[in-house]
Each structure stands twice: as structure tokens, then as C-alpha cells.
Amino acid sequence: MSKTEGKWLAQAGATTGQILIWNGNTWTPGKLSDYGLEGDLGSLYISSPAGKAITAGVPAIIGGTTTAIKNKNFTHTNQRLTYTGTVPKTFQATATISAKSSLGNIILSIFLAKNGVVVAESEMTRKLATANDVGSAAILCVDDCVTDDYVEVWVDVSSDSTITFDKMVLTIVEI
């Protein structure tokens, strides 16, 4: 196409790191994040496992200390990822876990919790046959987040027990 056959796309005032967006009349410089197109993510892992006494029938946040892995529009505080983006988005949260119980013959119910409330559809169960037997599980959930929404991993038990999450990775990605 020659310059006389159509409009040529040029820098149009964009700087490094910006994109050009058609606004209906002209190309306008902007950032991917201005349009909710940046691919936000949050992730953490358990860096120091610690047992936590859990009362049967009362879901509670897990024990231990977590460390951030990589975060983009998420912040990490111990055991929690908080969305700091300004555009409401849909995310997929996934946690992979290995845990043990101070009692045998116990069933763990593992959940994701959003803003301190268990997300029922994220529940997975895992039976631990003997005390200190390590069992693994994975949980997944899709939900929307707005600024300051936070996600944690919670656990419930079939009998009062001390639960230790030996290993865990929690990842939240924009979909």
C-alpha cells in the first residue's frame, strides 16, 4: 500500500512501552493496563511449614509462613494474595498442597477463600489414613476480583487435629 492509498500507522505520539488503540477516529497512545489487557498474576509458596490446630467443622486459614514468588497487580502478605489492579477481572486460582495430620483416619477439606469467606465450589477432600502420613491435593476456582479482594487457602477436618501444610503453591492468573 502506498502512502496515497490509505492512512499509514505511525508512532502517533506513543512512547516505549505503549500501544496504539483505535478510538473510532484516530490512533491513540496507551498502555495495555489501561484496557485490562496485561495478564495479572499472583503467587506464593509455603517457605516455613507450621502445624495449626483446626477444630472440626470450622474452616480456618492454614498455618505456616509463605513467601511471594511473582506478583503483577497482586501483593503478598503471609498466606494471602491481594488484588491491587483497578480493573475488575476474572481469575483462576490454583493451589497444590501436601499436608499431614497429627491424627490418622482423618478427612481434610481444603478450600480457597475470598475475602475471608470459603468458596464452596473450590472444596476438595483428602483422607489421611495414618498420623503424619503426607497426602497431596490440588484445588481450583474461577472467580472475579476487584481492587483489594484477597485469596487464601483454608482447611477443615473431620476430627479436631493439628494440620501441617508441608508444601503449597498458590497461583492466581487472569483468564
Least confident of 38-47, 93-102, 114-123: 38-47
Q: Which residue has the cell 497487580?
A: 73
Residues 147 and 110 in one domain: yes
Which pLDDT score is estimated for 1? 47
Look up residue 106 and give its three cell numbers: 482423618
Strand partners, 97: 137, 168
Residues 71 and 9 in one domain: no
- Which residues span the domain enclosing 20? 1-30
Residue range 42-98, pLDDT digits in tens: 999 999 999 999 999 999 999 999 999 999 999 999 999 999 999 999 999 999 999
Residues 10 and 65 in one domain: no
**Residue 64's domain is classified under what CATH number?**
2.60.120.40
Residues 45 and 130 in one domain: yes
Q: What is the pTM of this model?
A: 0.79
* Burial category of 130 from C-beta neighbours within 10 Å (exposed 0-12, middle 13-18, buried 19 and up): exposed
Which pLDDT score is estimated for 7? 58
